[in-house]
């Protein structure tokens, strides 16, 4: 059926009884019409929308035609909003503090078919959105967010983030970049593409960790995102790890986060990461990561990494440095910890001169054989290879000098902390 709806509002106002500031000078001119025959003939014309919050006016308009077959939108917004005034005008549930200035002067005119075909010569988008001294604090956020300054410039093909300078908790962040296909993402559920460069002097990830490990949950990677990020962090904090000069490339695509040549200095050496984390199945996220550790302090690595504690318990008793090249793949549980029995991997290791002190297995061997050199032995540099499967770490045979003999070691240890190793050595009879 045909329809026509016309709305006119002039000089209106509203105010919450328990808030001090009213919204004033509200004016609306809205016409919705359809000559009949098909819903696609509907036209929505918001000719005027005006409101004043505090001392700042906001104006907007929108014209929408053929909303079903090929939405054709012509819209604009302009104004300046003091968010402190907004919080005194409308209730901001979950926030204790909202302040800052948001200014917009933007317009877009686009037909969905042109966006689909990427015919940006037929799309008009222009204007800027600026943020200054924005502060958000409340139960909705674990830490205070403060955006000192941010500026977004709109264009038909891309939205350019010209500047972004903020602090999140005790962390600082600066960024610049581009968002491609923003209109397609908003109008057609198309993939949002983009790239950015991010810098931080100090970023503390620990502030965002739940202190209740039982409350940890899977972090999903959002769909319809294709984003390329180059990051540089002077100091990166995560749980027990302090990482410096962290830099690398991060790619988000197809619900997968890929790290490419991400390097950092930590634990007395350097760690490089290459691999991915994927949540196409949010009940069982998967990962496949390559670790390259160079001259990392063994005691620090044992304290910092649960994986080292589970797969190489001997590290608890060793002093020295280790370099390793490890590839590890598997799944994560709902608490974001690896499902250790299903881990699969392989790698190699190389150590400096090692002191192994108070290792119960060596103490037991020394007690049974009366070979004193098994008590707190010092070993020359070692080289070896290993594989991880079915919850055990299997070590290929390698040889180490112990006292007056060379010992060939091979075997495995399990997540249940069991050891099953063979020690092959020739001992002078005089020592027995």
Q: Which residue has the tokens 């919450």?
A: 16
| pLDDT given at position 131 | 96
Ordered mean pLDDT values, 10 residues apiece, the chain (432 residues): 96 95 97 94 97 96 95 96 95 89 95 86 92 90 90 90 94 93 76 92 81 65 90 90 93 93 93 94 90 93 87 91 93 81 91 92 89 90 91 92 88 88 87 78
**354-356 β-sheet, strand order:** 318-319, 354-356, 378-379
Contact 163, 149 (CB under 8 A): yes
Angle of CA points 255, 325, 293, to nearest 5°: 90
How does 53-79 read in b/e, with b if 16+ C-beta sit within 10 Å?
bbebebeebbbbbbbeeebbbbebbeb
Residue 340, pLDDT score: 83
Q: Answer yes or no: are the C-beta atoms of 243 and 265 closer than 8 Å.
A: yes
CA angle 192, 193, 197 (to 5 degrees): 130
Q: What is the pLDDT of residue 241?
A: 86
Q: How does DSSP classify residue 1?
A: -
Q: Quick: pLDDT tens for 382-428.
A: 999 999 988 899 999 999 988 888 899 999 998 888 889 999 988 88
Contact 180, 158 (CB under 8 A): yes
Q: Is the CB of residue 228 less than 8 Å from the CB of residue 248? A: no
For residue 48, the Cα-to-chain-centroid distance in whole angstroms is 41
Q: Report how many helices (DSSP H) and strands (DSSP E) the chain contains, helices first.
A: 6, 25
Q: Identify the DSSP state of 338.
A: B
Q: Evaluate whether 307 touches 285 at the Cβ level (below 8 Å).
A: no
Spatial distance between the Cα atoms of 56 and 84, rounded to a whole number of angstroms: 12
Give per-residue pLDDT as tens, 132-157: 999 999 887 778 999 999 999 998 88
pTM, entire model: 0.77
Residue 390 is classified by DSSP as: T
SS3 category, 339: coil
């Amino acid at each position: 059926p045909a329809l026509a709806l016309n709305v006119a509002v002039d000089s209106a106002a509203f105010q919450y009884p328990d808030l001090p500031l009213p919204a004033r000078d509200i004016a609306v001119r809205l016409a919705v019409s359809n000559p009949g025959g098909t819903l696609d003939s509907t036209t929505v014309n918001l000719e005027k929308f005006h409101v004043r919050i505090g001392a700042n006016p906001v104006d907007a308009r929108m014209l929408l035609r053929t909303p079903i077959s090929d939405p054709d939108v012509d819209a604009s917004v302009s104004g300046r909003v003091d968010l402190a005034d907004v919080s005194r005008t409308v209730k901001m549930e979950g926030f204790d503090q909202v302040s800052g200035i948001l200014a917009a002067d933007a317009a877009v005119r686009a037909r969905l078919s042109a966006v689909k075909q990427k015919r940006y010569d037929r799309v008009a988008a222009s204007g800027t959105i600026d943020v200054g001294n924005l502060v958000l604090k409340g139960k909705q956020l674990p830490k205070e967010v403060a955006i000192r300054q941010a500026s977004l410039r709109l264009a038909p093909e891309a939205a350019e983030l010209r500047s972004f300078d903020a602090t999140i908790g005790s962390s600082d962040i600066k960024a610049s970049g581009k968002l491609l296909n923003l209109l397609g993402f908003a109008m057609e559920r198309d993939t949002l593409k983009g790239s950015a460069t991010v810098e931080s002097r100090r970023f503390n990830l620990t502030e965002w960790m739940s202190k209740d490990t039982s409350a940890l949950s899977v972090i999903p990677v959002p769909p319809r995102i294709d984003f390329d990020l180059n990051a540089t962090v002077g100091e990166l904090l995560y749980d027990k790890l302090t990482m410096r000069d962290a830099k690398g490339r991060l790619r988000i695509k197809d619900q997968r986060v890929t790290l490419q040549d991400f390097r950092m200095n930590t634990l007395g050496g350097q760690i490089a990461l290459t691999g991915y984390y994927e949540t196409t199945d949010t009940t069982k996220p998967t990962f496949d990561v390559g670790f390259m550790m160079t001259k990392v302090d063994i005691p620090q690595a044992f304290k910092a990494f649960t994986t080292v504690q589970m797969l190489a318990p001997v590290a608890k008793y060793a002093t020295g440095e280790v370099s390793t090249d490890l590839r590890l793949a598997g799944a994560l549980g709902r608490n974001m910890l690896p499902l250790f029995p299903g881990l699969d991997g392989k790698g190699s290791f190389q150590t400096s001169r090692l002191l192994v002190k108070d290792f119960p297995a060596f103490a037991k061997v020394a007690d049974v054989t009366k070979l004193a050199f098994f008590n707190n032995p010092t070993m020359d540099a070692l080289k070896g290879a290993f594989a991880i499967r079915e919850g055990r770490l299997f070590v290929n045979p390698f040889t180490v000098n112990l006292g007056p003999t060379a010992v060939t070691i091979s075997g495995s240890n399990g997540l249940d902390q069991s050891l099953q190793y063979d020690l092959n050595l020739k001992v002078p009879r005089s020592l027995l």
